[in-house]
Amino acid sequence: MLKIILARLQQGHQTMKYPDGPPPKLPDRFRGCPKLNADKCSNGCNACVGACPTGAIVVKDNHPSIDMGKCLFCAECEKVCPEKAITFSDEYYLAARKRQDMIAAGNQPTKPCDVVMERDIRKLFGRSLKLRQVSAGGCNACEADTNVLGTLAWDLGRFGIQFVASPRHADGLLITGPVTQNMHLALKKTYDAVAEPKIVIAVGACAISGGPYIDHEQVKNGADAVVPVDLYIPGCPPHPLTILDGLIRFLGRKGCN
């Protein structure tokens, strides 16, 4: 025990300062909120539409828009656009309360949406939020990035947010995966087991829209086909910083430094 204490003292403070300080450095390959320049989209090639594997892009009157709930952030659209009308920024704050708030459109500046939960619910959960994580047919990528938040550097517990083993101990659900037919009933029963009032958070493109499996006969195209969703966090998978930012802003804490 003494060796453990001494080692811990030598290591010092490991938890990141975010959100009170700057966010951690993101990898060079990180792709955040897409930026669209409608002025450059003038030749009507629609190459981006054909390249998108999930149908997330719509071009109308040479004005492109991207549904970030469907977007896999694969950047294939950026690669094929001859005019570079689509680029991906390093903006990590992507969470939204409403599905329609996840549309990135040309020449419209992107900014973090107000994702704070309703006041009455916030009074109950603002200082302590217990979540039951449900993998509804996910590939484990979103699940892995969610689990990272429990490590020493991220320390999700310092915000009063914890994952629990039973829905009967939870204030809500954090759902990943496209909700397969085999998980449909299990998700519904898990939701029903959570006491009122309760919240639902959909993490990742699969949980929001079905992701790469969208419209497949074996999936429900996301969580809100089965249960009401209060917060959407897009990505494939979303970076742990994107998930953390969405959760703490949902609780009314500071974020988006």
Residue 30 has pLDDT above 80, yes or no: yes
Residue 125's pLDDT band (boundaries 50, 70, 90)?
Answer: confident
Burial (CB count within 10 angstroms: exposed 0-12, middle 13-18, buried 19+), residue 220 = buried
Distance, CA of 163 to CA of 131 (rounded, Å):
5
What is the pLDDT, as a whole number, of residue 161? 94
Distance, CA of 103 to CA of 96 (rounded, Å):
10
Q: Which residue has the higher pLDDT, 14 or 164?
A: 164
Residues 26-34 have a mean pLDDT of 93
What is the pLDDT, as a whole number, of residue 232? 96
| Bridge partners, 66 (sequence order) | 57, 104
Residue 167's pLDDT band (boundaries 50, 70, 90)?
Answer: very high
What is the pLDDT, as a whole number, of residue 206? 97
Mean pLDDT (the chain, rounded): 90
Residue 107 has pLDDT above 60, yes or no: no
Distance, CA of 124 to CA of 127 (rounded, Å):
8
Least confident of 12-21, 51-60, 149-158, 229-238: 12-21
Per residue in 177-199, pLDDT (tens digit) is 999 999 999 999 999 999 999 99
Q: Which residue has the higher pLDDT, 162 or 125?
A: 162
Residue 52 has pLDDT above 90, yes or no: yes
Residue 109's pLDDT band (boundaries 50, 70, 90)?
Answer: low
Residue 111's pLDDT band (boundaries 50, 70, 90)?
Answer: low
What is the pLDDT, as a whole number, of residue 133? 97
Backbone angles phi, psi at 192, to 5 degrees: -65, -25
Q: Can you give the residue ranges of every domain in the chain?
A: 119-250
Q: Is the pTM of this model over 0.85?
A: yes
What is the pLDDT, as a whole number, of residue 257? 60
Signed CA dihedral, 100, 106, 109, 112: sign only: positive
Residue 110 has pLDDT above 60, yes or no: no
Helix (H, G, I), strand (E, B) or coil at 129: strand
Residue 42's pLDDT band (boundaries 50, 70, 90)?
Answer: confident
Q: What is the CA radius of gyration of the chain?
A: 19
Q: Which residue has the higher pLDDT, 257 or 66?
A: 66
Query: What region, left, alpha or beta, does residue 85 occupy, with left being phi > 0 and alpha being psi -120 to 50 degrees?
Result: alpha
What is the pLDDT, as a whole number, of residue 188? 97
The CATH number of 119-250, from 3.40.50.720, 3.40.50.12280, 3.40.50.1440, 3.30.70.1450, is 3.40.50.12280
